[in-house]
């Protein structure tokens, strides 16, 4: 028999003014976490812990658009609930909630997955994992549309205007963090590529020098081997 799903503790009732103050504090903590973390999985794990104090959710998702394959890819699934859904899963843009959010640049809020009639090919997957409500927000910067960030629950939940505004503000900050992380990864990959090309050219130059200066076959062989060992 499967273990019962355990949701995070309910957010304690507070006055509107107190709740607003706690949300502002949480947004400040989100900014601090973003400044400290460049690793996206670690960032989402950190965010989940900080956000539970002001908003109820069972999991966070980061779904990014792959411009090369033109698909939506689940990059991060941060959850306390055991799941077989692995990061890296790809889905077409068409018919996928995150794809719709990425294309339209509009939030998607589903109060009860059991009653949702849109996305008929995808909703059954959510029901299989006992997901009952979902709020997905676009991750977009001034430079590009990245993907989406989702908040999900294992119970039906109608998101309030205050919750929606708070989630949107969190997503706006996370978009900057994701863009910076991707730019950093791309920069590292580019630097690695440049270093490899530099090493290759240096080896070609060294081999050429050996061919010009070496008169004995054994000397020529040792020189070429020594040059190649630096890049092999």
Question: In the chain, how many domains are there?
Answer: 2
pLDDT of residue 21: 76
Position with higher pLDDT, 186 vs 59: 59
Domain range for 218 is 193-229
Q: Give the CATH number for residue 104.
A: 3.30.450.40
89 and 32, same structural domain?
A: yes
223 and 120, same structural domain?
A: no
pLDDT of residue 127: 92
Q: What is the pLDDT of residues 114-146, one digit of tens each?
A: 999 999 999 999 998 899 999 999 999 988 999
pLDDT higher than 50, residue 220: yes
C-alpha dihedral, 68 to 73 to 76 to 79, nearest 10°: 180
215 and 175, same structural domain?
A: no
Mean pLDDT computed over 79-83: 75
- Output the average pLDDT for the chain: 80
220 and 180, same structural domain?
A: no
CB atoms within 10 A of CB 151: 24
129 and 36, same structural domain?
A: yes
166 and 122, same structural domain?
A: yes
pLDDT of residue 54: 86
Is residue 76 in some structural domain? yes
Q: Both tokens of residue 169?
A: 């503000």
151 and 51, same structural domain?
A: yes
108 and 76, same structural domain?
A: yes
Is residue 9 in some structural domain? no
pLDDT higher than 60, residue 171: yes
Is residue 1 in some structural domain? no
198 and 83, same structural domain?
A: no
Is residue 200 in some structural domain? yes
pLDDT band at 224 (very low <50, low <70, confident <90, very high): low
Is residue 6 in some structural domain? no
Is residue 11 in some structural domain? no
pLDDT higher than 50, residue 49: yes
219 and 178, same structural domain?
A: no
- Secondary structure of the chain as H, E, C letters: CCCCCCCCCCCCCCCHHHHHHHHHHHHHHHHHHHHHCCCHHHHHHHHHHHHCCCCCCCEEEEEEEECCCCEEEEEEEEECCCCCCCCCCEEECCCCHHHHHHHHCCCEEECCHHHCCCCCCCHHHHHHCCCCEEEEEEEECCCCEEEEEEEEECCCCCCCHHHHHHHHHHHHHHHHHHHHHHHHHHHHHHHHHHHHHHHHHHHHHHHHHHHHHCCCHHHHHHHHHHHHHCCC
pLDDT of residue 2: 43
Mean pLDDT computed over 63-78: 94
pLDDT of residue 52: 87
pLDDT of residue 212: 64
Q: How many angstroms separate the most distant Cα atoms in the chain?
A: 89
Please tell me whether the overall predicted TM-score, pTM, comes out greater than 0.85 for this model.
Answer: no
Q: What is the pLDDT of residues 5-41, one digit of tens each?
A: 444 445 555 667 777 777 778 787 877 777 777 788 8
155 and 80, same structural domain?
A: yes
70 and 93, same structural domain?
A: yes
pLDDT band at 148 (very low <50, low <70, confident <90, very high): very high
Is residue 8 in some structural domain? no
Percent above pLDDT 90 for the chain: 42
Is residue 148 in some structural domain? yes
């Amino acid at each position: 028999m499967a273990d019962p799903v355990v949701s995070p503790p309910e957010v304690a009732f507070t006055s509107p003014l107190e709740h607003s103050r706690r949300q502002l504090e949480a947004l400040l903590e989100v900014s601090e976490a973003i400044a400290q973390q460049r690793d996206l999985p670690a960032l989402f794990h950190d965010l989940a812990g900080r956000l539970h104090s002001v908003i109820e959710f069972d999991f966070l998702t980061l779904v990014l658009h792959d411009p090369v394959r033109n698909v939506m890819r689940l990059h991060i699934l941060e959850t306390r609930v055991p799941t077989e859904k692995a990061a890296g899963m790809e889905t077409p843009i068409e018919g996928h909630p995150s794809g719709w959010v990425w294309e339209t640049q509009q939030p998607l809020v589903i109060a009860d997955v059991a009653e949702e009639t849109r996305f008929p090919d995808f909703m059954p997957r959510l029901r299989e994992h006992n997901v009952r409500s979902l709020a997905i927000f676009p991750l977009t910067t001034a430079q590009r549309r990245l993907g989406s960030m989702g908040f999900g629950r294992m119970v039906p939940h109608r998101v309030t205007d205050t919750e929606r505004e708070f989630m949107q503000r969190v997503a706006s900050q996370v978009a900057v963090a994701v863009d910076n992380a991707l730019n950093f990864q791309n920069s590292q990959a580019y630097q690695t590529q440049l270093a490899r090309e530099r090493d290759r050219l240096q080896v070609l130059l060294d081999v050429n020098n050996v061919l010009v200066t070496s008169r004995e076959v054994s000397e020529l062989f040792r020189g070429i081997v020594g040059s190649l060992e630096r890049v092999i």
